[in-house]
Amino acid sequence: MISELDVTFVFRESTYGTFAEAVNAVETSPRTARAEKDNATTTNVSVVAYSLEASEASCALSDSRTLRVYCSGDNIEWEIAARRAPLRPPRIYSDNVVLRFPDASTIDWRPYAMLQARLNRQSLTLDPSETLVYLRARGVPGLMFAQMTDRAGGGVTDA
C-alpha cells in the first residue's frame, strides 16, 4: 500500500500582463469551450463509482457514461465516454498518503476520501485552466487534478 510519495506538482500555466488578458485567455480557450459543451450534459448527473490510479481517475456517472481525467504530458485532460466503461480496480493507496515536496514540506493527501465526498453529488462541472482541471460538484469544494512528477523529474505514472 502506498503511504508516501516524493513529488512536485507541474504547473506550466501562462502568465499575463493584466487581469483582462488572463480572463480573455480563459474565455477564448478551446479547453473552456470543450468544458462548456460537456458541462451542458452533466447538470443532473452524479458520480456513482470511481477508480483511481497514478495517472488517471475514472468516474462512473449516473447516466451510464464515464468521466476519465488523465495525464497527457504535463497537461491534465478529460473525456466523457458515451458508455460506461468498466472501472479498473483502484490502485491501492493508504487512506492517508504523505506527499513530500523538494522544499521538505509535506501535506496529507486523502485521495479516496476526496473522491468519496463527491459520490452522488449532482451538478458536476469541469473547469479547466491551461494545464489543470477542476472537478466541481454541488456542496463540496472543487477538486484539482494536476500532474505530479517524482524527484527525478519523471511523471508519476502507473507501474
Q: What is the pLDDT of residues 39-89, one digit of tens each?
A: 999 999 999 999 888 788 999 999 999 999 999 888 899 999 988 767 776
C-alpha–C-alpha distance, residues 16 and 111, integer Å: 32
Q: Which phi and psi angles does 35 have, rounded to 5°?
A: -65, -40
In Å, how far from its chain's centre is CA 1?
21
Give dist(CA 138, CA 145) in Å, integer.
18
Residues 6+ apart with CB under 8 A from 31: 128, 129, 130
When mean pLDDT is compared across 1-5, 24-28, 46-50, 83-87, the lowest value belongs to: 83-87
| pLDDT over 70, % of the chain | 91
Give the Cα separation of 33 and 127 in Å (integer). 10
Order of strands, edge to edge, in the sheet holding 66-72? 47-52, 56-61, 66-72, 75-81
